[in-house]
């Protein structure tokens, strides 16, 4: 028998509070950092938090499956699938920068039905259920009403493949820099999406993101009243370039991000 999202949410938030304690405990310790790629890191904390979450969430929803960053064999979620990033912002974590998040999304009925973004070092937990709005520490959050783009704060991120895509990335960034009030790069897509949902940023865009980077934040932004699409304004799906905004500056951002022959 399927458990309703509202009941699931309470159980998941209990698990997230425990995982946040684990992150904060590890925050005080020396970092044991290994390389997955030239600039792609993994720490013992990533592994420990992911193992904890998989064990506890399987108890919350027996029979559920996982697409989790450090152990995923597929990027395609099935029904009742937890999509997990144990430490989004591992590079930040390794350097003691507090923009570090745990992101948990539940894929159900062809979409993200529940999402939690916990930013444990900064003491903020964002969550949403489909049709239930977006929340932070028990208070409702909404996207901003700020426009035009010249008065908007935009966030972005850079892919691990930056050495191959630097010209494309810098070209987009240049166009946004001259049109927006400012651009920020905190290094954790889940945090950026939560901040769009909370009205702190008017827009966030990034390419080459994985399902665990975006699942929970995607739902947060939509439930907070915002818009999430690909760069060209068409429907977002895992594996596509992501643009999330307050809706009011969305078309302006699409116009800046789309260039001939690029999505």
C-alpha dist (Å) from residue 251 to 26, 166, 177, 201, 212: 42, 24, 16, 16, 26
Q: Which residues contact 167 (CB under 8 A, 6 or more apart)?
A: none
108 DSSP β-pair partners: 111
Q: 151 among the known binding-site residues?
A: no
Q: 249: exposed, middle or buried (C-beta count within 10 Å: 0-12, 13-18, 19+)?
A: buried
Q: Which residues contact 230 (CB under 8 A, 6 or more apart)?
A: 236, 237, 240, 241, 242, 243, 263
Q: 69 among the known binding-site residues?
A: yes
Q: How far apart are CA 133 and CA 77, in angstroms?
A: 23
Q: 87 among the known binding-site residues?
A: yes
Instruction: Provide the pairing of β-strand 65-68 with 81-88.
Output: parallel
Q: 4: exposed, middle or buried (C-beta count within 10 Å: 0-12, 13-18, 19+)?
A: exposed
- Joined together, the tokens standing for residue 149 give 């783009």
Cβ atoms 159, 206 nearer than 8 A: yes
Residues in the annotated binding site for Mg(2+) = 69, 85, 87-88, 213
Binding residues: 69, 85, 87-88, 213
């Amino acid at each position: 028998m399927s458990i309703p999202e509202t009941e699931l949410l309470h159980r998941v938030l209990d698990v997230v509070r425990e995982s946040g304690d684990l992150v904060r405990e590890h925050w005080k310790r020396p970092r044991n950092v290994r390389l997955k790629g030239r600039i792609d890191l993994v720490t013992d904390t990533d592994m420990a938090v992911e193992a904890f979450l998989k064990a506890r969430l399987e108890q919350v929803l027996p029979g559920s499956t996982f697409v989790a960053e450090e152990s995923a064999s597929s990027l395609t979620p099935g029904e009742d699938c937890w999509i997990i990033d144990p430490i989004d912002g591992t590079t930040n974590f390794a350097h003691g920068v507090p923009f570090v998040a745990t992101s948990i999304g539940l894929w159900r009925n062809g979409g993200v039905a529940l999402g939690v973004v916990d930013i444990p070092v900064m003491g903020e937990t964002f969550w949403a259920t489909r049709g239930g709005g977006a929340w932070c520490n028990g208070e409702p959050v909404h996207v901003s009403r700020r426009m035009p783009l010249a008065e908007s704060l935009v966030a972005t991120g850079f892919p691990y493949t930056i050495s191959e895509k630097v010209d494309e990335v810098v070209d987009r960034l240049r166009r946004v820099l001259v049109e927006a009030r400012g651009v920020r790069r905190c290094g954790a897509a889940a945090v950026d999406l939560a901040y769009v949902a909370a009205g702190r940023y008017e827009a966030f865009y990034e390419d080459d993101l994985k399902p665990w980077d975006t699942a929970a934040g995607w739902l947060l932004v939509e439930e907070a009243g915002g818009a999430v699409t690909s760069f060209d304004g068409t429907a977002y799906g895992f594996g596509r370039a992501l643009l999330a905004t307050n809706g009011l500056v969305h078309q302006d951002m699409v116009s800046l991000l789309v260039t001939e022959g690029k999505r």
